[in-house]
Structure 1
Amino acid sequence: MTEDETLTAFQERMVKFKSHLFNIRWQYRAYRELRENLLSHECLLHIDFSENYVCKYSDEVQSVHFGGSHQQATLHTGVLYTAQSPPLSFCSISPSRRHDPPAIWAHLHPVLDMIKERFPDVSCLHFFSDGPATQYRQKGNFFLLSSEPFRRGFNEVTWSFFEANHGKGAPDGVGGTLKRSADRLVCMGIDIPSAEMLYLKLKERDSAVQLFFTREDSVETKAHEMLQLPPLTAIKGTMRVHQVLSKQKGKILYRDVSCFCRRQQGVIDCPCYELKEAVLQEEEAQGKEMTRASRPEVFGADHVGRWVVVEYDHDFYPGVITRVEDGNLEVDCLHKKGINKFYWPSPRRDISWYNESQVLCLIEPTAEPTAHARYLQLNAATWKLIEEQM
């Protein structure tokens, strides 16, 4: 790079860094102020997926210990805050390895039912979570956010996202505590071969964490319901959105940062920070194009060699999967050079590990040359999908 190119690149990255730092501080402050000033009709749920627990036997032969035959259990953890009671930790355990919107709401259903039973005065839900594009921060979750709470009798709901890579908090401690408890049971000679057994054994120990079991068919039923819906309209600039809220079924409002400035007056949809409205409705053309991009529930060795799009630091990069281990993928990524223009870095390739949650979708082999032979571009359908997230 020349001196001018280096200076330009530095200035561009400095703007992104300052925005990133602002969002970190703003979202944490909004979370803290909300948690400390909840009203009697509100509750706050701070949620996250813990890393899957690998089920174990107390005595394993070598082929089992080092093989890939272990089942995994998904742990969806969270902490519930209300004005009336101390914080309540909870965890939903499931044999399903899906972490997508249908799975999220299948895990949340028993939690919402518990809230209605224990705190009947609560009518407004506030969610806080991290914002991976394949889980919480995507149009599928936005749609369910604008429908599922209303089915269970809630009147208002907001969902705020911490800045990328800065969403660690209480739910991570809940997951770590439960997995350590499970490992101690295995060390004491108790087998935990499945997600259901994990739930039962932890339940027997009278854990302070409220435990729920989400059956795999419950997740698949919710996923099937989503498939019956017409294609949903994507929100352009999804990765910049840090708050989504809904007061009416099927409609959402969103903005780039969270704001609760008029909540004490009963208003969650203050017009601050360019609040925008969206209706998640059918979009036929997009539905046809989206058939070319998909994402499996679980990645395995059979996906090695496939092309994929991964998210890193609010941007998306295509690449080739080179290895898959325990929910993580090693990807040989292309570098970006302008709008839908990519190239293979040289002399060193950009090969890094990514979590499954950072994978946007699988794509067809992308080797379409641009006018300049050294650059590659994605097909139009895949590029449109990425643009909608940027």
Structure 2
Amino acid sequence: SKYFEQLKSEVTDEKVVIQVDFAENFGLKEQDEIQSAHWNTKTLSIFTAYVWSKSQGFSFTLPSNDVSHDKFVVNAAIQIILNELKTHVPNLKHINFFSGGAASQFKQRFMFRSLIQIAHEYKIALSWNFFATSHGKGVVNGLGGTVKRLVWSAVLAGDNCKSAEDFVKLAQQKTRKIIIIEIAKNDIDNSK
């Protein structure tokens, strides 16, 4: 959208744009798993975000064993991103968020109440904007795919990935350009 592109062109080190979304779930498989394991595949979710600021961009992938993709996972992910972002952009004053319009994830009153609390806690101004339904484009979609491919290549080479914690370790071994942090169960529980 024009508004999204306009805001990206106006970023400073005090005013940033963040695009967020969930990547497709990642199937936890082993290279030499037995056939019956194929029918009992566990998955993990991956919350992705990209931050545009004047000095640099920041890529985030946040895997979780919780695959609900609900408002509590979103809230926990935003808290993790903001905590990390404050260390890189200490003068942050305003964030323009962009996301899809999925009601279970982003477009509901819990998120807006939570944003008010977050704005107060971090002493920043927040706005939230929604893309058209099934937008499915942008850097965040590439982030999810890239990290999943990196981890899958490690699995094919014989490494094990049985949890979000394993996913983080493998992904961090493969790239330093993406900030990869697990959304732990207690992070989600604290959002409730």
TM-score, normalised to structure 2's length? 0.94
Deviation digits for residues 254-282 of structure 1 (CA, Å, limit 9, x no counterpart): xxxxxxxxxxxxxxxxxxxxxxxxxxxxx
The answer for the alignment partner of 1:75 in structure 2 is: 46
RMSD of aligned residue pairs (Cα, Å): 1.3
Task: Say whether residues 1:202 and 2:175 are aligned partners.
Answer: no
**Which structure has the larger Rg over C-alpha atoms?**
1
1:102 to 72, 75, 79: 72
How far the C-alpha of 1:52 sits from its partner, in A, is: 0.9
Q: Which residue of 2 aligns with 1:120?
A: 90
- How far 1:157 moved relative to its partner? 0.5
User: Which secondary structure state, in structure 2, belongs to the residue aligned with residue 93 of structure 1?
Assistant: strand
The Cα offsets for residues 318-367 of structure 1, whole Å up to 9 and x where unpaired, read as xxxxxxxxxxxxxxxxxxxxxxxxxxxxxxxxxxxxxxxxxxxxxxxxxx
Q: Is the 8 A contact 1:72 1:195 kept in 2?
A: no
What's 2:32 paired with?
59
In the other structure, the counterpart of 2:11 is 38
Give 1:281's aligned residue. none
CA distance in 2, matches of 1:169, 1:202: 21
- Please tell me the residue identity of whatever aligns with 2:37: V
Q: 2:118 aligns with which of 136, 148, 163?
A: 148
User: In structure 1, how many angstroms separate the alpha carbons of the residues matched to 2:152 and 2:64?
Assistant: 18
Contact 1:127 1:160 in 2 (8 A): yes
For the residues of structure 1 that align with 2:181 and 2:172, how far apart are their CA atoms?
Answer: 9
Decide which structure has greater helix share.
2
- Identity over the aligned pairs, expressed in percent? 25
Distance 1:148 1:101 in 2: 14
CA shift at 1:81, angstroms?
0.5
Q: Report the CA distance between 1:167 and its aligned residue.
A: 4.3
2:126 corresponds in structure 1 to 157
Q: Is 1:181 aligned to 2:154, yes or no?
A: no
Q: Offset of 1:98 from its aligned partner?
A: 2.4
Q: Secondary structure at the match of 1:163?
A: coil
Q: Which runs of 5+ in 2 are unaligned?
A: none
Query: Hey, what's the Cα distance between the residues in 2 that align with 1:38 and 1:29?
Result: 15
Contact 1:129-1:167 within 8 A present in 2 as well: no
The one-letter code sitting in structure 1 at the alignment partner of 2:122 is R
Counterpart of 2:139 in structure 1 is: 170
Stretches of 4+ moved more than 4 A in 1? none
Structure 1 stretches lacking a partner, 5+ long: 1-27, 224-390
